[in-house]
């Protein structure tokens, strides 16, 4: 009763089949739209200009969002986010900050080590940077 009809051409895709099926209908709609555009070109052009001017007026003079309003709306939208997703975002942000700090520390350590002579401040900074880097490495393995 429900048999799959084999396709003669294995190279045809779904989009090609849809195009073949819908092309006559879309060609008719396209012809009607071209006729309307030809008949009422000036009216359509004037309506487009009016819409552009109305959009400009609404954007810059009528609908002025205040920064406080935007901040409150953003906070309301964030409250809608489920708690687990919020925790995932904060964990991702922590990992990103940790990776950035580790990259900064590594580059500073490499810069100091590459110098011919190291001052006392560089030595103290190098010691602290290596301790922080070890802490970040050990702390990341625990998580």
Q: Which residue has the higher pLDDT, 82 or 98?
A: 98
Average pLDDT over residues 18-44: 92
User: How wide is the angle at C-alpha 26 spanned by C-alphas 25 and 30, nearest 5°?
Assistant: 125
Dihedral angle of Cα 64, 68, 73, 74, to the nearest 10 degrees:
120
What is this structure's pTM? 0.37
Structural contact between residues 122 and 112, judged by C-beta atoms closer than 8 angstroms: yes
pLDDT at 1 over 60: no
Residues 25, 26, 31: CA angle, nearest 5 degrees: 100
Which pLDDT score is estimated for 55?
93
Residue-averaged pLDDT of the chain = 81
Say what the pLDDT of residue 115 is: 86
Residue 88 has pLDDT above 90, yes or no: no
Binned at pLDDT 50, 70 and 90, residue 141 comes out as low
Mean pLDDT of 52-63: 88
Contacting residues for 30 by C-beta, under 8 A, at least 6 apart: none
For the cut 70, the answer to whether the pLDDT of residue 42 exceeds it is yes
Decide: 126 and 118 in contact? Cβ < 8 Å. yes
């Amino acid at each position: 009763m429900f048999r799959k009809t084999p396709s003669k051409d294995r190279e045809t895709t779904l989009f090609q089949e849809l195009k073949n099926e819908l092309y006559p209908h879309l060609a008719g709609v396209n012809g009607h739209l071209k006729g309307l555009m030809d008949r009422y070109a000036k009216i359509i052009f004037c309506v487009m200009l009016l819409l552009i001017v109305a959009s400009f007026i609404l954007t810059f003079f009528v609908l002025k969002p205040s920064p406080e309003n935007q901040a409150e709306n953003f906070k309301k939208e964030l409250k809608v986010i489920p708690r687990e997703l919020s925790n995932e975002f904060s964990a991702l942000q922590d990992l990103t900050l940790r990776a950035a700090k580790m990259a900064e520390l590594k580059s500073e350590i490499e810069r100091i080590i590459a110098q011919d002579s190291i001052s006392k401040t560089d030595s103290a900074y190098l010691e602290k940077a290596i301790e922080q880097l070890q802490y970040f490495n050990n702390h990341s393995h625990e998580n």
